[in-house]
Amino acid sequence: MQNTLQWYPGHMAKTRRLIEDNLKMIDVVVEILDARVPYSGRNPNFDDILKNKPRLLVMNKADLADKDRTNQWIEWYRARGIKVIPISCTTGQGINKVLSEARELVRERIERDAQKGRTRTLKLMMAGIPNVGKSSLINRLTGRAGTKTGDRPGVTKGKQWMRIKGDAELLDTPGILPPKFEDQRLAEKLAFTGAIKDEIINTELLSYSLCEYLRDNYREELCARYKIKDDISALQGYEILELIGRRRGFVISGGEVDMERAANMVLDELRGCKIGNITLETPAEIEDL
Ligand SMILES: Nc1nc2c(ncn2[C@@H]2O[C@H](COP(=O)(O)OP(=O)(O)OP(=O)(O)O)[C@@H](O)[C@H]2O)c(=O)[nH]1
Ligand SMILES: [Mg+2]
In the reported structure, the alpha carbon of residue 107 is separated from the centroid of ligand 2 by a whole-number distance in angstroms of 28
Distance of CA 286 to the CA centre of its chain: 16
In the reported structure, the alpha carbon of residue 150 is separated from the centroid of ligand 1 by a whole-number distance in angstroms of 6
Q: What is the pLDDT of residue 4?
A: 53
Atom of ligand 1 nearest to the CA of 60: 31
In the reported structure, the alpha carbon of residue 176 is separated from the centroid of ligand 1 by a whole-number distance in angstroms of 14
Average of pLDDT values for 92-116?
Answer: 94
State the pLDDT confidence band at 6, using cuts at 50, 70 and 90: low
Q: What percent of the chain shows pLDDT beyond 90?
A: 72
CA 283 vs CA 286, 287, 288: distances in Å: 5, 6, 9
Does an H or E element contain 2, and which? none
In the reported structure, the alpha carbon of residue 155 is separated from the centroid of ligand 2 by a whole-number distance in angstroms of 5
Least confident of 176-190, 213-227, 267-281: 176-190
Checking if the pLDDT of 5 tops 70, the result is no
Atom of ligand 1 nearest to the CA of 138: 15
- Closest protein CA for atom 17 of ligand 1: 133
Checking if the pLDDT of 210 tops 90, the result is yes
Q: What is the pLDDT of residue 159?
A: 79
Checking if the pLDDT of 116 tops 90, the result is yes
Q: Which of these, 152, 129, 156, lies nearest to 42 by C-alpha position?
A: 129
Mutation pick for ligand 1 pocket among 131, 151, 159, 172 (CB with most ligand atoms within 8 Å): 131
d(CA 17, CA 45): 13
d(CA 27, CA 51): 13
Q: What is the pLDDT of residue 223?
A: 97
Average of pLDDT values for 125-145?
Answer: 92
Q: What is the pLDDT of residue 3?
A: 46
In the reported structure, the alpha carbon of residue 215 is separated from the centroid of ligand 1 by a whole-number distance in angstroms of 27
- Closest protein CA for atom 13 of ligand 1: 133
Q: What is the pLDDT of residue 161?
A: 85
d(CA 262, CA 259): 5
Q: In terms of pLDDT, which residue wins out, 214 or 179? A: 214
d(CA 246, CA 39): 34
In tens, the pLDDT along 69-88 reads: 999 999 999 999 998 999 99
DSSP state of 91: T
d(CA 72, CA 286): 12
Q: What is the pLDDT of residue 1?
A: 43
What are the two backbone dihedrals, phi and then psi, of residue 127, each rounded to the nearest 5 degrees? Answer: -135, 155
Q: What is the pLDDT of residue 9?
A: 60
CA 73 vs CA 22, 59, 141, 167, 194: distances in Å: 30, 10, 25, 31, 21
Mutation pick for ligand 1 pocket among 136, 156, 270 (CB with most ligand atoms within 8 Å): 136
124 forms beta bridges with 28, 170
- Closest protein CA for atom 16 of ligand 1: 149
Least confident of 91-100, 184-193, 211-220: 184-193
Atom of ligand 1 nearest to the CA of 153: 24
In the predicted model, what is the mean pLDDT of the chain? 91
Ligand 1 residue neighbourhood (C-beta within 6 Å): 60-61, 63-64, 88-90, 128, 130-136, 149-151, 153-156, 174-175
Strand order in the sheet with 160-164: 84-86, 55-60, 28-34, 122-127, 168-172, 160-164
What are the two backbone dihedrals, phi and then psi, of residue 58, each rounded to the nearest 5 degrees? Answer: -130, 125
- Closest protein CA for atom 2 of ligand 1: 61
DSSP state of 227: T
Atom of ligand 1 nearest to the CA of 155: 24
Q: Which of these, 238, 195, 218, lies nearest to 279 by C-alpha position?
A: 218
CA 149 vs CA 43, 153, 268: distances in Å: 20, 10, 18
In order of their start, the domains of the chain are 9-172 (3.40.50.300), 202-288 (1.10.1580.10)
Are 42 and 76 within 8 A, CB to CB?
A: no
d(CA 132, CA 62): 11
d(CA 189, CA 177): 13
In tens, the pLDDT along 15-68 reads: 999 999 999 999 999 999 999 999 999 998 999 999 999 999 999 999 999 999
Q: What is the pLDDT of residue 2?
A: 43
